[in-house]
Amino acid sequence: MSMTIEEINKQVIEHPLTKEEAKQQFVEKTEEYGLKHAYTFEEAWEVSEELKRRRECRNQLQILSDAFLKADGIITGEEASKINPVQHSFADGCYIRQIFNPANQLIVTKIHKKKHPFFLMVGEMSVLTEEGVEYLKAPYFSITEPGTKRFIYTHTDCIFVTVHATEETDIEKIEEEVIAKDYNDPEISLDQINLLKHKI
């Protein structure tokens, strides 16, 4: 009896195999079909668990984001831009975005789809991502990975800078390049592939 992808996906969600069951299946099918592998069972299991963790974290972050944006007192659009002014600068092949965030503000960012550096130039903030909560104090520098969505609480006034590789100078077009509408964006899927390359 053949199964569709939808039926297989449903089984995985509703009745997933335990690690021991998956290991037994791995061995049995390897023997049955005379398969050769480029990775060990433990490597494959570790990657699958990390992908599941990321997917669940991202689902929870999106639920939190949707609830946040419906809450009373939330400021968006032009009103938010006045309180959080942005400066745009350009260098050869680079777009530099600097934003001021006042103290005691809770901010939800969009989903980034390109890997790029960021700098906290001034201030202190707590940041929630799928990696957990991190306390940042200026001067601070790190890398934003594809698929990153941040929930930020500013303990003080902050200045946050991001740098993006692009030849584009139209801000709306740049946002289309670097921001994803949701986690289903194909470019975000590349970070899943890169995880597989790194682990295996």
Query: Residue 113's Cα: distance from chain center in Å?
Result: 8
Give the confidence band of 177 by pLDDT, cuts at 50, 70, 90.
very high
| Residue 189 confidence (pLDDT) above 70 | no
Q: Identify the band that residue 196 occupies on the pLDDT scale cut at 50, 70 and 90.
A: low
Q: What is the reported pLDDT for 95?
A: 97
The DSSP code sequence of 46-60 is HHHHHHHHHHHHHHH
Q: What is the pLDDT of residue 68?
A: 83
Q: What are phi and psi of 101, to 5 degrees?
A: -120, 120
- Give pTM, 2 decimals: 0.76
* One-character DSSP codes across 98-145: EEEE-TT-EEE--EE-S-EEEEEEE-EEEEEETTEEEEEESSEEEEEP
Phi and psi, residue 154, nearest 5°: -90, 115
Phi, psi of 143 (to 5 degrees): -115, 135
Q: How confident is the model at residue 200 (pLDDT cuts 50, 70, 90)?
A: very low
pLDDT digits (tens, 9 = 90+) for 82-127: 999 999 999 999 999 999 999 999 999 999 999 999 999 999 999 9
**Regarding the domain with residue range 77-178, which homologous superfamily does it belong to in the CATH classification?**
Jelly Rolls (2.60.120.10)
The domains of the chain are located at: 5-70, 77-178
